Amino acid sequence: MTITTCVFDAYGTLFDVAAAARQAASEPGHEKLRDSWPALAAHWRAKQLQYTWLRAITEAHTDFWEVTQNGLDWALDAEGLAGDPALRERLLALYWELSAYPEVPAVLAALRAHGLNTAILSNGSPDMLDGALQSAGLSDLLDAVLSVESVGIFKPDARVYDLVGTHFDCTKDEVLFVSSNGWDAAGAAGYGFTTAWVNRAGEPMDRLPWTPHHILTDLRGIPALAEG
């Protein structure tokens, strides 16, 4: 079946989740973050994802903004920065303005030029995603922004992946799903999508029952994959 629809995870795939900590570390008044921002960013992202999984399996859903704040609070505590409320406030504000990776606009434009549907499928809440898209200037390059909030559970639950077929009236084998999270690309492959894992950090493959169909180091190869 020909690919008609290219769907992207948002955070870490289109948007650089380390950008908030990196930007804050460069600003006056946040000198304590200068050396520790990479560790803080890594802790923040890891806990953010872990909390989505724990909430999914315990049926204790909340929106992504809450788990983002919870993850940051853990990370600040781990780095000895929990007593700096101004830093916390700044980091959270910057998360609404995450920069897109440099190749993103051209990749989305190329997909649209070839007549493919383009969409985001994200754990992010609609208002968070709208803020990031407006900040990055990507809104006009997407046909849909699909959030887990419409089903009330985080990825990789199948009900999240179902949103794509429901919205675009397409079959699973018409979809190329792209994520920087190996577990997400694997889960979507198990669901039935063709998947590409954008492994920017050169991480090992997750030990799961499914594996991504393609592995890339950035998004530049996605148009070629989508066109077959």
Pair type for strands 5-8 and 175-179: parallel
Which one is catalytic: 9, 16, 169, 206? 9
> What crossing angle do the helices spanning 182-191 and 158-168 adopt, rounded to 10°?
60
As given in the structure block, the two tokens for residue 190 are: 């198990």
Decide: 129 and 65 in contact? Cβ < 8 Å. no
Please say if 9 is a catalytic residue. Answer: yes
In sequence order, which residues have a C-beta less than 8 Å from that of residue 199 and are 6 or more positions away? 180, 182, 215, 216, 217
Phi-psi region for residue 29, left (φ > 0), alpha (ψ -120 to 50) or beta?
A: left
Residues with catalytic function = 9
